[in-house]
Chains A and B, each alone.
Chain A
Amino acid sequence: MTLDRSTLAPGLRIPPFSRVGNFDNWNRFAAANYEFAGHHMDDEIGRHEGFGAAIGMAPLIFAYMHDMLRDWVGPEGGSVASVQFKLRAPFLRNRILTASGVVTGVAPDGDRLRVDLDVWAEDDQGARLVEGSAAVALL
């Protein structure tokens, strides 16, 4: 679902983006990003490190946040201007990550419209995985 500019205002919740934390997803990203650390691929290693299971990659969560924003903006609606977040809890295997965002500001920026958002990701057990902010530049 792409954005309706007439609804742009602080407080608008954008469509969330969800992915299951499993090796199907993580191993594909490991191959794309050359990120083959044991704790991303093996529950035993994750447990040895104190996580309880294998964990998803921070760069993949970063990419999911971009996916959420791009799905909302649409392929020709604009581009991602910024994403930043703090990591709060690990993304454990078999949990479901949901990235969410809420508009905090809308303002002209040259020939574009800048939309600022608070963004975060939680898992299906209620753990807050990351939280931060983002911006998109609408064309």
Chain B
Amino acid sequence: MGGVLEQTLITDEMRAAVGKTYRVAGSYPIAASDIRRWAMAVYFPARPPPLYWDEEHAKTTRWGGIVAPEEFNPFAWMRAYPGWGETYPDLWPEPHLGIEPPPTRANIVTEIGATYTGTRMRPGDVIRSELALNSYQERRGRLGLMLFTETKDRWFNQHGELIRTFCQTFIRYGEREEALFTRYAGKSGA
């Protein structure tokens, strides 16, 4: 698309905030049962690999003990700090950064991705999350002006080792939620 957008959802304040870390959170110590339940859930109805639940077996592997599946989320069911918080409600960077959020009313996740260092999460680990605003982009589509917000979340264990970097991109729209969901739902053929 060429030309200059006649309006923009990105303010100078928002632009200046790109790259900033806007939330640091810490998990409770990971329990072996947390890992077991996660593995059971993501493999169900199949039995998960014993690496994730059988300590005696796990000790014989190259990992030396139980490790979590790479995508395991230690922040489910509450985080240890910065206080009561659930997995998704505090997604938007603007309130954390003290800047006025854009006037949008609907949102949808459009892209997710993680890169892993090979250092695994293990029982007893405490994970620190550093969530940053990675970028803002805009595009005009059939539903109007779309604001793409990408966040980057880096997780470290208690030894300061980077475990993973997780990026999500959300599209925020100014349109009503019904219009947004109808457009997305229409692709399913339902």
Residue B118 at the A interface, CB < 8 A?
A: yes
Query: A49-B177, A87-B110, A139-B62 are contacts. A28–B116 as well, Cβ < 8 Å?
Result: no
Residue B10 at the A interface, CB < 8 A?
A: no
Which has the most chain B C-beta neighbours within 10 Å: A28, A33, A62, A132? Answer: A33
By DSSP majority rule, is chain B's interface helix, strand, loop, or mixed? mixed
Chain B residues with Cβ below 8 Å from A82 are: 113-116
A81 touches B116 (CB 8 A): yes
Residue B124 at the A interface, CB < 8 A?
A: no
Nearest-Cβ distance from residue B35 to partner chain A, whole angstroms: 10
Closest-by-CB residue of A relative to B87 is: A34
Query: A35-B87, A66-B71 are contacts. A79–B118 as well, Cβ < 8 Å?
Result: yes
Residue B109 at the A interface, CB < 8 A?
A: yes
| Complex CA distance for A49 and B118, rounded to whole angstroms | 39
Nearest-Cβ distance from residue B61 to partner chain A, whole angstroms: 6
B188 touches A90 (CB 8 A): yes
A34 touches B77 (CB 8 A): yes
Q: What are the interface flags for A96-126 relative to B under an 8 Å C-beta threshold, 1 for contact and 0 otherwise?
A: 0000000000000000000000000001011
B42 touches A64 (CB 8 A): yes
B189 touches A125 (CB 8 A): yes
Which has the most chain A C-beta neighbours within 10 Å: B45, B71, B184? Answer: B71
Chain A: how many interface residues by the 8 Å CB criterion? Answer: 45
Q: Which of B44, B86, B88 contacts A28 (CB 8 A)?
A: B44
Nearest-Cβ distance from residue B88 to partner chain A, whole angstroms: 8
Chain B residues with Cβ below 8 Å from A28 are: 40-41, 44
A75 touches B51 (CB 8 A): yes
Interface residues of B (CB under 8 A from A): 37-38, 40-45, 49-51, 61-63, 69-71, 73, 76-78, 86-88, 108-116, 118, 120, 167, 177-178, 181-182, 184-185, 187-190
A-B contacts, 16 of them at CB < 8 A, read A32-B40, A32-B42, A34-B86, A49-B177, A53-B190, A58-B112, A67-B43, A76-B62, A83-B113, A84-B112, A85-B113, A86-B111, A89-B188, A90-B184, A90-B187, A127-B189
